[in-house]
């Protein structure tokens, strides 16, 4: 009897920085050198630009670029140079509209999925709700889908078909919690159990500005058990190996 296909996926947590894409590209390049043996690396939402400034400004439109702009082009090149499939978060401009967008590219830099955040959080007044639906794609024989940050609260309803088809939910976030409790502790296991899939969460890391919800990237199994969590501080790559459902 043959073993089911396995996808080695890593949730990448890097120290937070706002408004300095060149620095974050260098940090991503450095982190990918530590990803030997990983099939797919998942960075957090809005990795290059940051999500909110020190002054509490959430408007990212000044960083907006088209699909063929320098941010996506540079991250495609990193996927090729490191030989790894890669999540590509960026602020997308499409005509007069801007989206909080996320690509997944393969090890050759070719697009596997293009996702526009469907439910921008209320401070994201700059962002148009995503209009591309929820994609699924196959990598290493494992079926994968996407949701970005605030989408997770609605994903069971708005992406039921994609979740039913997928083995793994990629969940990049720039998580913000106002209190001491982390809503992900209950929310992610519930989604994993309900849809019988793995949840891979890559969150922003310690940095500036410091806000509740920082860190604690994690990988949750289909039974809701947390299999790995990033330690505090620095750059962390949390790895697990989801398998295709029988």
How far is residue 22's CA from residue 32's CA, in Å, rounded to a whole number? 16
> What distances in angstroms separate CA 59 from CA 70, 139, 163, one per listed residue?
20, 34, 31
Question: Tokens at residue 176, please?
Answer: 């913000």
Instruction: Give the chain's domains with CATH numbers.
Output: 9-240 (3.60.110.10)
User: CA–CA separation, 92 vs 139, rounded Å?
Assistant: 24
DSSP codes of every residue in 76-91: HHHHHHHT-EEEEEEE
Question: For residues 244 and 140, what is the distance between their CA atoms, to the nearest angstrom?
Answer: 9
Instruction: Print pLDDT tens along the chain (246 aa).
Output: 688 899 999 999 998 888 889 999 999 999 999 898 999 999 999 999 988 877 777 899 999 999 999 999 999 999 999 999 999 999 999 999 999 999 999 999 999 999 999 999 999 999 999 999 999 999 999 999 999 999 999 999 999 999 999 999 999 999 877 666 789 999 999 999 999 999 999 999 877 656 666 789 999 999 999 999 998 877 889 999 888 986
DSSP state of 205: B
- In DSSP terms, 105 is beta-bridged to 86, 111
Would you say 146 and 159 are in contact if contact means Cβ atoms under 8 Å apart? Answer: no
Single out the residue of 114, 221, 115, 215 nearest to residue 173, CA to CA: 215
DSSP state of 15: B
The two structure tokens encoding residue 37: 């043996």
Residue 212, classed as helix, strand or coil, is coil
* Percent helix, strand and coil across the chain, each to the nearest 5: 20, 30, 50
CB neighbours of 163 closer than 8 A, spacing ≥ 6? 145, 155, 156, 169, 195, 197
pTM value?
0.95
Q: How far apart are CA 222 and CA 31, in angstroms?
A: 27
């Amino acid at each position: 009897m043959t073993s089911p296909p396995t996808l080695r996926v890593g949730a990448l947590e890097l120290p937070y920085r706002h408004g300095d894409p060149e620095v974050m590209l260098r940090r991503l390049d450095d982190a990918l050198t530590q990803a030997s043996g990983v099939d797919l690396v998942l960075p957090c939402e809005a990795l290059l630009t940051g999500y909110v400034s020190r002054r509490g400004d959430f408007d990212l439109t000044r960083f907006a670029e088209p699909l063929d702009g320098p941010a996506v082009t540079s991250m495609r090149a990193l996927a090729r140079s490191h030989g790894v499939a890669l999540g590509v978060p960026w602020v997308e401009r499409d005509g007069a509209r801007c989206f909080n967008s996320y690509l997944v590219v393969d090890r050759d830099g070719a697009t596997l999925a293009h996702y526009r955040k469907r439910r921008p959080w209320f401070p994201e007044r700059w962002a148009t709700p995503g209009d591309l639906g929820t994609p699924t794609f196959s990598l290493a024989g494992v079926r994968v889908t996407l949701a970005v940050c605030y989408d997770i609260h609605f994903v069971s309803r708005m992406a039921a078909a994609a979740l039913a088809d997928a083995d793994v939910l990629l969940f990049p976030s720039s998580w913000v919690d106002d209190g001491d409790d982390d809503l992900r502790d209950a929310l992610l296991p519930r989604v994993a159990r309900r849809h019988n899939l793995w949840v891979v969460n890559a969150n922003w890391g310690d940095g500036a500005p410091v806000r509740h919800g920082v860190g604690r990237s994690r990988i949750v199994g289909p039974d809701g058990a947390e299999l790995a969590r990033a330690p505090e501080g620095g750059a962390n790559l949390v790895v697990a190996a989801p398998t295709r459902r029988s």
